[in-house]
Amino acid sequence: MSSAFRVGRGTVLCFRGKDRCRVFNNLCTQDLRKLSDGQATETFVTDVKGRTFGHGIALALDEEAYFVTVPNQASKLIPHFDRYIIREDAIISDLSNDFRLWIFRDRSTAAKACSVQLDSVPETRNASRLQMDGNSIVLVHAAWIGPESVLGLIANGASDQPIRDRLGHECAESDDESTESDDESTESDTDERRVWELLRIQAAWPWYGIDLDERNLPQELDRNDLAISFNKGCYLGQETIARLDALGQVQKKLVRIAIESELAPQPQSLVQSDGKDVGTICSSAPDASHGRCLALAYVKRSHFKTGQELYVNSARAVVL
């Protein structure tokens, strides 16, 4: 199974100016004021209603702050931040076209791929700027395909070939730009995309626009300990999030479910219990080694506990 994927396009926003962390912090669920140089954290970007306007990785490097997330989000996020810059010294730039993204399953794979020492690859909640083949790269801990996976921001002017040469069969393509048309995709491309999706679902990493959008509340993603600070003070939408925390419950939650079928259900497929609709599939992938599929699905509060038996397209399923 591949341990590195060329994800391709992503959204990379850069915050500069002495008030950059303040501006960034005011619209996020994590306390980014505590983000020191070389540190990173998962966070939600929220709107005035406390809904998830974005989700990704925030990091601080060399007097700059960055937000890295899924493709095609800059045109939405930059005006959202700009709206709340009044007198602050902060400038937001879209660097999405300057980088392409690679994801490595762990630090060892990242070190091998980038030809750097293992101790220079960032550990949990850290980031670093390094040199690879004469080009500057950024590596940041990002649990997209596992708890130790590392995201690489590679300058668009640099060649990917050295990474492929060093990794050999461990390297796979999962490039949004090269796989948008099913007509042009090879069987190998399709297999690798399935592997990528399976690892992402196993890691329970939600993909913005597929598993969540601006209709969701952060707590519905079940990532409170990873992406939400409940004692950071005021930020946009904080009252809604704090009130929900005080109530101690959400009406639905994104959970992983294992389905006893080798045929992955389509998005929006219904999750049922005793013949009643109790949830909806967001993303899924075959898990051939176990003769099943894994999926991320929103399931109602009455049915999202671990071990709960469910059904998807008449196939038995269970909440993991």
Q: Name the burial class of residue 221, with classes exposed (0-12), middle (13-18) and buried (19+) by CB atoms within 10 angstroms of its CB.
A: buried
What does the pLDDT read at residue 173? 61
- Comparing CA positions, the residue from 49, 55, 98 lying closest to residue 76 is 55
What does the pLDDT read at residue 188? 57
The b-or-e profile of 106-133 (16+ CB within 10 A means b, else e) is bbebbbbbbebeeeebbeebbbbebebe
Residues 6+ apart with CB under 8 A from 124: 141, 147, 148
* Domain boundaries 1-250, CATH class: alpha beta
Give CB contacts under 8 A, 24+ apart, made by 271-274: 271/297, 271/299, 271/303, 271/310, 271/311, 271/312, 271/317, 272/310, 272/311, 272/312, 273/303, 273/308, 273/309, 273/310, 273/311
> For the residues 128-135, what does the mean pLDDT come to?
95
All structural domains of the chain with their residue ranges? 1-250, 251-320
| pLDDT > 70? residue 281 | yes
Q: How far apart are the first and last CA of the chain?
A: 23
- Comparing CA positions, the residue from 178, 199, 176 lying closest to residue 286 is 199
Q: Cα 193–122–3 angle (5° rounding)? A: 25
Strands 171-173 and 4-8: parallel
Quick check: 137 and 152 in contact, CB under 8 A?
A: yes
| pLDDT > 70? residue 175 | no
Quick check: 13 and 95 in contact, CB under 8 A?
A: yes
Write down the residue that tokens 């990532």 correspond to: 223
> For the residues 202-213, what does the mean pLDDT come to?
98
Does the domain at residues 251-320 carry the CATH identifier 2.40.30.110? Answer: yes
The pTM score is 0.94
What does the pLDDT read at residue 190? 73
Model confidence pLDDT, tens digit, residues 13-50: 999 999 999 999 999 999 998 899 999 999 999 999 99
Question: Distance between CA 166 and CA 249 in Å, rounded?
Answer: 48
Strands 252-259 and 292-300: antiparallel
> For the residues 314-320, what does the mean pLDDT come to?
98
Three-state secondary structure string covering 117-151: CHHHCCCCCEEEEEEECCEEEEEEECCCCCCCCEE
- Comparing CA positions, the residue from 87, 72, 46, 63 lying closest to residue 219 is 46
| pLDDT > 50? residue 131 | yes
Question: Distance between CA 228 and CA 241 in Å, rounded?
Answer: 9
The DSSP symbol for 265 reads P
Q: How far is CA 221 from the centre of its chain?
A: 12
Question: Distance between CA 167 and CA 110 in Å, rounded?
Answer: 10
Model confidence pLDDT, tens digit, residues 224-279: 999 999 999 899 999 999 999 998 889 999 999 999 999 999 999 999 999 999 99
Question: Distance between CA 266 and CA 188 in Å, rounded?
Answer: 21
